[in-house]
Amino acid sequence: MMDGFAHTSVMTQEALQLLQPHSGGVYADATLGGGGHTAAILDASAPDGRVVAVDRDPRAVANARTRLAQYGERVRVLHGEFSNLPALLTAAGHSRVDGLVADIGVSSPQLDDAQRGFAFSQLGPLDMRMDTTQGQTALELIAELSESELADVIYRFGEERRSRAIARGIRRALEAGELATTEDLRMAVQRAVGRPPGSKIDPATRTFQALRIAVNRELAELEALMGCLADVLVDDGIAVIISFHSLEDRIVKHFLRGEPRLHVLTKRPLVPGEQEQYDNRRSRSAKLRAAKRVPRAQDDATMEAQA
């Protein structure tokens, strides 16, 4: 791992077992992060398997370019959003891939860098953008939304029942000029709903999750990625999707079930083994789902049968 950019990859062995990378194959890593999954696929597909790896975070891209330099031409690292995967693959000279891995969400380096503003446990600006080169920060988004729109965001993306009171509290802090940092947001939520005695979970947890998802349009990105899977996979190509919360897993599950051009390989999601959960706390909420591209010759028949 690069200094200062350490991310422990989740469910790597399970992903490799499903992908079965082979020499000569072409693979996509839609969420490069620290580069662990990409490196594992490159190692498993030596001597000449290739990976096109994408991340919207310029820092992840820069770090991975250094970390993966040893693989030379076998890896292309691109800055971009995975909703744009077909165009990114084309830019890298490929129209389809033999396999794809997407490990959705934020990386440890993003969470751990206070300046990124993702974590309420660290003092930082209210930013939360994965791509720091564009888009609105969390503070700008809060300032733009009405109180009821903010409550809707907190309810939908945080599954937070007390969203109205929280939105009111945040709005009040903003208007009083007391909303600039992660700590200001945490305190605004705490003032609005209190902290149940003995509760280990900070009452701002769901609000932070909701704002992060909204700032990065995470669910729309995931839907767009799912929508292009059948187009970018070769016949019998495999997609492996790892997600970390129920909103994401629901999208993956429903999409895979409803896409006749994909054959679901995981009736139930795979979860990390006991040892991995013990070694890496952050892996505990991971769910892995996989699907195989139905050969194109069968597309019409499959669609007709499902109509």
Residues 241-270 that bind ligand SAM (CB under 6 A): none
Q: What is the three-state SS of the chain?
A: CECCECCCCCCHHHHHHHHCCCCCCEEEECCCCCCHHHHHHHHHCCCCCEEEEEECCHHHHHHHHHHCHHHHHHEEEEECCHHHHHHHHHHCCCCCEEEEEEECCCCHHHHHCHHHCCCCCCCCECCCCCCCCCCCCHHHHHHHCCHHHHHHHHHHHHCCCCHHHHHHHHHHHHHCCCCCEHHHHHHHHHHHHCCCCCCCCCCCHHHHHHHHHHHCCHHHHHHHHHHHHHHHEEEEEEEEEEECCHHHHHHHHHHHHHCCCEEECCCCCECCCHHHHHHCHHHHHCEEEEEEECCHHHHHHHHHHHC
Closer of 81 and 276 to ligand SAM (Cβ): 81
- Which one of 66-74, 102-110, 176-184, 266-274 is the stretch in contact with ligand SAM (CB under 6 A)? 102-110
Binding mask 8-27 for ligand SAM (x = CB under 6 A): -x------------------
Binding letters toward ligand SAM, positions 201-240, x by CB under 6 A: --------------------x-------------------
Binding-site member from 25, 36, 158, 272 for ligand SAM (CB under 6 A): 36
Q: Would you count residue 57 as binding ligand SAM (CB under 6 A)?
A: yes
Span interacting with ligand SAM, options 68-76, 86-94, 104-112, 136-144, rule CB under 6 A:
104-112
Q: Does 59 bind ligand SAM (CB under 6 A)?
A: no
Contact positions vs ligand SAM (CB under 6 A): 7, 9, 31, 33-37, 54-57, 60, 81-82, 103, 105-107, 130, 221
